[in-house]
């Protein structure tokens, strides 16, 4: 079940397709996030799906339940493989997302996951900025429990929390992945592909450690070798 998802954080369609040309015949799993989705819209996702790409649409919906349900109906029509909401929206919002996704035939095979805590958030930021005094791992566990109660398939979490998620019977999608010789950049809770595998992550999301390399295909294959 383990797989590597490439975070396609490009400015526009042109940049993305120049990058993807290098991966012909490999059919990598792609994460389409806010930056390029807000520029290119759902048409980009539809084009990638026609090409046979597997897609994680990473928009982190977080709004009142009614709005999220209606938005998820539109996302469902795209037939992506994974999409997400933010667990901070609460159980009723996540249930609404599930209803919206399941109400459209194309969305019934889409895995719905919830972001627990961004990998850029540290314990210090949790306490000082968000005014949450619980240990970060306890917050992740609580949010994951809420996601499970709402009927979601899994959560986005750092690899460090993957063992907790695995025990709960949920899938874990883990960003913040870096090779041992890479810079961590703006991530706080990071792991190597090999360590994420050891911790039991189901999917790893890898961005700059692949996309910023002179030979991104070699970096991708290195991730597959270390993780899958």
pLDDT at 189: 58
Q: Cα(163)–Cα(8) distance, rounded to whole angstroms?
A: 27
Residues in the chain where the model's pLDDT stays below 70: 182-189
Q: Cα(22)–Cα(51) distance, rounded to whole angstroms?
A: 15
Q: Cα(74)–Cα(120) distance, rounded to whole angstroms?
A: 29
Q: Among 39, 49, 60, 70, which one carries the catalytic annotation? A: 60
Pairing outcome for strands 3-7 and 29-33: parallel
Which CATH architecture group holds 3-227? Answer: Alpha-Beta Barrel (3.20)
111 is catalytic: no
Q: Cα(59)–Cα(77) distance, rounded to whole angstroms?
A: 15
pLDDT at 183: 57
Question: Which of 173, 59, 167, 75 minimizes the C-alpha distance to 116?
Answer: 173
Sorted by where each begins, the domain ranges of the chain are: 3-227
pLDDT at 181: 76
pTM of the model: 0.93
């Amino acid at each position: 079940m383990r797989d590597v998802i490439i975070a396609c954080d490009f400015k526009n369609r042109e940049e993305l397709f120049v990058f993807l040309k290098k991966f012909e015949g490999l059919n990598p799993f792609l994460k389409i996030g806010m930056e390029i989705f807000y520029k290119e819209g759902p048409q980009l996702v539809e084009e990638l799906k026609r090409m046979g790409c597997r897609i994680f649409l990473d928009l982190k919906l977080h709004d009142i339940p009614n709005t999220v349900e209606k938005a998820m109906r539109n996302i469902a029509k795209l037939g992506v493989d994974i999409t997400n909401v933010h667990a901070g929206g609460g159980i009723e919002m996540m249930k609404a997302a599930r209803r919206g996704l399941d109400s459209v035939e194309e969305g019934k095979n889409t895995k719905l996951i919830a972001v627990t805590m961004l990998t850029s958030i540290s314990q210090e930021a949790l306490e000082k900025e968000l005014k949450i005094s619980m240990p970060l791992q306890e917050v992740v566990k609580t949010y994951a429990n809420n996601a499970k109660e709402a009927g979601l398939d899994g959560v986005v979490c750092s690899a460090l929390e993957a063992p907790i998620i695995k025990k709960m019977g949920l899938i874990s999608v883990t960003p913040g992945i870096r090779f041992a010789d890479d810079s961590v950049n703006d991530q706080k809770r990071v792991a190597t592909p090999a360590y994420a595998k050891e911790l039991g992550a189901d999917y790893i999301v890898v961005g700059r450690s692949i996309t910023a390399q002179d030979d991104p295909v070699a970096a991708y294959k290195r991730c597959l070798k270390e993780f899958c």
